[in-house]
Amino acid sequence: MLFGASDHNQNDSMMQITLAFNHFGQHLRQRLPRARFGFVHIVNNDYQEWTMYAVGGSKHPTFISQGNRFRAQDNPFTKEATKREYTPEWEWKSWNWTSEGDVFENGAFFVTSGMGSTFDLTKNFSRFDVFRAKPGSFVGRLTRYAGALSCKVGEPC
């Protein structure tokens, strides 16, 4: 999933996205999601063995990761769940990327930046604007029916 039209469309900085209850299966490469600009709240998703990265961005997006499960592949070069695209470290260190209540398995990790763990959603948004996350340990139950339906023509799904 790619959110943001191009690196040159700064109107995308007004995007506010909540991505919840998804199961991203094994061997998906990247962009689960990737955002240019904007605010992305990823909540109670299941990330399983990506091949490049799970969460990526360019052009200073904000990512708030809450209650997700990240399980890395055995490959030691694919443990990091995050990737900042086309940006030097001195620049992306000011972007607000935070992880709260996430579960990390098989060596997976999330690189925070900006305000990191001190970013408080309640100070930036009203309680009516924020999706409340369950702990990452609930992800298996919350996403067990996620994915494509296996329906047949002429039969109820």
Asked about 31 being catalytic, the answer comes back as yes
Question: How far apart (Å, rounded) are the C-alpha atoms in residues 62 and 112?
Answer: 11
**Which residue among the candidates 29, 31, 34, 71 is catalytic per the annotation?**
31
* Amino acid occupying residue 102: D
How far is 67 from 1, CA to CA, in rounded Å?
A: 20
Q: Using an 8 Å Cβ cutoff, are 79 and 50 in contact? A: no
Q: CB under 8 Å to 48, separation ≥6 — which residues?
A: 23, 24, 25, 26, 71
Active site members = 31
